[in-house]
Amino acid sequence: MVVFFSGTGNSEYCARYIAKLIGDEAVNSARYIRNKQIAQLSSEKPWVFVTPTYAWKIPRVFASFLRQSSLTGNKNAYFVMTCGGSIGGAAGGLLDICKEKGMRFRGVKQIVMPENLITMFKAPEKDEARQIVDKASPVIAQCAETILSGRSFEKPKYGFLSFLQSEVSNPFFYKAAVKADKFYATDACVGCGTCAEKCVMGNITMKNGRPEWGNNCTQCMACIGCCPKQAVEYGKATKGKTRYHCRSFEG
């Protein structure tokens, strides 16, 4: 079973692609996370967990989801992490999760996809985004081929920098940046509710036709990336920046 977490569609795209190639089903963890439900899943085939990279680790919310879920059946766990540049030393944390769950860690594969963290960086324009995804296609296919063959993903080389990124910078990033306090809707908002519908945490409620953000944000960028009117901003950091969602380069 392929289980994914995705804010702006990159990991969903990879998960569904892999699921198709290995002839398995893809399950969206948001279904459970949004509703604060404990997942009870069973798979005869190996587990494939597909997720974005948040500060060189898997998102805390997805790590908690995996820890809390009942995952029975096959004991093999493959991880696929999409990222804008690097997953750093994320493997360490994944190994811990597998140990806790009594699963066999079959490695982690990094797939570079378009950057979505527009509160800090710039997302690529349409053409560049399409090129990045095209470049990722053979890597995704390679993942599927490795899983089908029963081999483990190749061991990536991690140095001291990767350790610093995942174990030292990650907690700082969470403390400083992972909150919803600066999100707001501009006058361009038409009250369509897409942001609330797409929020993987269920953290946005519509009040009098306007979105309001609660304090359970994981900064997945779905609200800002999916708004059809580009009416969501994060303080001044996102003003004038290209919005990104994996579907946006298709049309």
Ligand X SMILES: Cc1cc2nc3c(=O)[nH]c(=O)nc-3n(C[C@H](O)[C@H](O)[C@H](O)COP(=O)(O)O)c2cc1C
Find out whether 83 and 51 touch, Cβ atoms under 8 Å.
no
Greatest Cα pair distance, the chain, in angstroms, is: 54
Other C-beta atoms lying within 10 Å of the C-beta of residue 25: 11
- Which SS3 state, helix, strand or coil, does residue 72 take? strand
Q: How far is the CB of 11 from ligand X (least distance, A)?
A: 3
Per CB under 6 A, residues contacting ligand X are 6-12, 52-56, 82-86, 113, 115-117, 219-221, 246
Edge-to-edge strand ranges of the sheet holding 76-83: 26-28, 2-4, 47-52, 76-83, 104-112
- Which CB atom, from 153 or from 234, has the smaller least distance to ligand X? 234
DSSP 186: -
Q: How far is the CB of 37 from ligand X (least distance, A)?
A: 21
**CA-based torsion, 83, 30, 221, 179: positive or negative:** negative
- Which CB atom, from 98 or from 200, has the smaller least distance to ligand X? 200
Q: How far is the CB of 9 from ligand X (least distance, A)?
A: 5
- Which CB atom, from 74 or from 242, has the smaller least distance to ligand X? 242
DSSP 120: T
Q: How far is the CB of 210 from ligand X (least distance, A)?
A: 24
